[in-house]
Amino acid sequence: MPEKPYNIVVGITGASGSVYAKSLIEYLCILQQNHKLKIDIIYSETGKEVALHETGKDFTADYQVNIYENYNFHAPFASGSSVADALVVVPCSMGTLGRIAHGSSDNLICRTADVILKEKKKLILVTRESPLNLIHIKNMELITLAGGIVLPASPSFYLKPQTIDELVNTITYRIVDLLCIPHEIPRWGQ
């Protein structure tokens, strides 16, 4: 039997920082050449609007990805019987993080996160909010205790990025590392 593709769902919420989603999707599509990856995308209601505003176009149209509406509970990964391997919410608004932390499954992004957590799969929430209040921090604690990963979009500078894209890519590479997808990038100490 052929090996099934590694199914990654990317949730894009209305938080500022859609450039991180764009970078991740572009890079995952490049990695598809050497890895069996299936990429599905869910936009929140304001996610697409903010992404269009920040990037100037629908960047998902350039790639072979499946796009699902946030209220489409018929998506395969809305059920544990057909679970995705990973969900990355990038950018992840604090509202979405809070709903996930408290088990609210009122939309497809939150339902997918709920399924991912209950099936012990990989959940990565890329937050960009700053500063954080105590509610945000407590919700992050709940996500962490439930097995999810909170990855603040805090770029690294040790490789001396020269462009905004290079800076954004430091977060993209970190996400891909957490997804355990082999890739060749410059590393600290090299």
Identify whether the C-beta of residue 65 lies closer than 8 Å to the C-beta of residue 39: yes
Does the structural domain 6-178 have CATH classification 3.30.1340.30? no
How far, in Å, CA of 166 to CA of 98, rounded? 30
pTM passes above 0.75? yes
pLDDT value of position 128 = 93
Q: Which residue has the tokens 């057909």?
A: 82
pLDDT value of position 2 = 61
Low-confidence ranges of the chain (pLDDT < 50): none
DSSP per-residue letters across 102-113: TT--SSHHHHHH
Take residue 54 and report the two structure tokens written for it.
């920040």
pLDDT value of position 35 = 93
How far, in Å, CA of 34 to CA of 17, rounded? 28
Q: Where are the beta strands (DSSP E) in the chain?
A: 6-12, 37-43, 66-69, 86-92, 122-127, 149-150
- Taking only the tens place, the pLDDT of each residue in 26-63 is 999 999 989 999 999 999 989 999 999 999 988 988 88
